[in-house]
Amino acid sequence: MTIVRADQPMGLKQLFDETGSSTYTYLLWDTETKDCVLVDPVDVKVDRDLKEVEELGLNLIYGINTHAHADHITGTHLLKQQVPTMKSIISAASQAKADLTVANGDRIVFGNRSLVVKSTPGHTEGCVSFVADDESFVLTGDALLIQGCGRTDFQGGSAEHLYQSVHSQLFSLPKSTIVYPAHDYKSRTQSSIGAELESNPRLGGGKTQDDFVEIMAGLDLAYPKKIDVAVPANMRCGVPDVE
Ligand SMILES: N[C@@H](CCC(=O)N[C@@H](CSS)C(=O)NCC(=O)O)C(=O)O
């Protein structure tokens, strides 16, 4: 599923990994300068991503991760091999390697456009979300999913922290802000802050932190199949282990 919003002030293309992780990668660009960033690229979809960049005539400035993923290996290392001028970015709180690290309130600039970094720990300790400069959309990574949220049972996850992150950093955005998550497992592509605030079954509709902690403790999800390979690789920005 691909959505094109190139008519909007910031170019946005949502790209889906159908090979197993159900990850959404986002290509964002300044329609005037053609500078672009890729958010949450997946290693097996790098050729597709670079084809999109080339077909749109864009200059890839940054490869960005919302966190050190547990279900797939990031594409940033492979992107850097093919576009040596591209810099990788991840949060300092993730303790993962990258060319540049960011923290709450930082602004990632590409051309005349930017993303504001919001610290949203809870799924992992280092999770961040990215708010568009005009607040028209937010990339929520695995913090807030459509009618769901990221699990909190590994990588320093904490239901208490996730509840606070979502309520203080995301639900405080305009209700009209579009929510673009890093995953959806039911072919949904977007939501809005207003819709999630009202009806997210884990976090919205007046759910308290105690309600949320109980819900998360009862999820009983299977571990991601690639977690043992993906997390160490992603702490190295996707660089293969040399041993
Ligand atoms: N089956 C997938 C992993 C599914 C999963 O655990 N997804 C994570 C985000 S990726 S770490 C999650 O937080 N899910 C929340 C939920 O409620 O499902 C695999 O094996 O890779």
Q: What is the mean pLDDT of residues 33-50?
A: 98
Which residue's CA is the nearest one to ligand 1's atom 4? Answer: 224
Would you state the structure tokens that stand for residue 152, as one six-digit string?
A: 């909190």
What is the number of the ligand 1 atom nearest to the C-alpha of 225?
Answer: 20
Residues with C-beta less than 6 Å from any ligand 1 atom: 21, 70-71, 142, 148, 150-151, 183, 221, 224-226
Taking the C-alpha atoms of residue 67 and residue 234, their distance in angstroms, rounded to an integer, is 9
* Domain limits, the chain: 3-220
Half-sphere exposure of 188 (CA within 13 A, CB side): 15
> Would you say residue 26 has pLDDT above 80?
yes
Number of helices followed by number of strands (H, E) in the chain:
6, 15
* 142, 152, 165, best to mutate for ligand 1 pocket (most atoms within 8 Å of CB): 142
Q: Is 133's pLDDT higher than 50? A: yes
Dist. CA 152 → ligand 1 center (Å) = 10
At 1 the pLDDT is: 45
At 5 the pLDDT is 46
Q: Report CA(149)–ligand 1 centroid distance (Å).
A: 10
| Residue pLDDT, tens place only, 4-16 | 444 457 999 999 9
Q: Which ipTM was obtained for this model?
A: 0.99
64 CA → ligand 1 middle, Å: 20
Residue 9 is predicted with a pLDDT of 79
**Sign of the CA dihedral running 131, 185, 64, 82:** negative
* Atom 1 (ligand 1) nearest CA: 224
Q: What is the mean pLDDT of the chain?
A: 96
pLDDT at residue number 243: 53
| CA atoms of 111 and 104, how far apart (whole Å) | 21
Query: In CATH, what class is 3-220?
Result: alpha beta
pLDDT at 2 over 70: no
81 CB-near residues (< 8 Å, 6+ apart): none
Best CA proximity match to 140, nearest among 110, 168, 118: 118
Which of 71, 154, 219 has the most ligand 1 atoms within 8 A of CB, as the residue to mutate? Answer: 71
The model's pTM: 0.96
Give the pLDDT mean for 191-215.
98
For 211-242, the pLDDT digits (tens) are 999 999 999 999 999 999 999 999 999 999 86
- pLDDT in the model for residue 72: 98
Which ligand 1 atom sits nearest the alpha carbon of residue 185? 18
Q: How far, in Å, from the CA of 224 to the mean position of ligand 1?
A: 6
- State in Å: Cα 70 to ligand 1 middle: 8
- First-last CA distance in the chain: 38
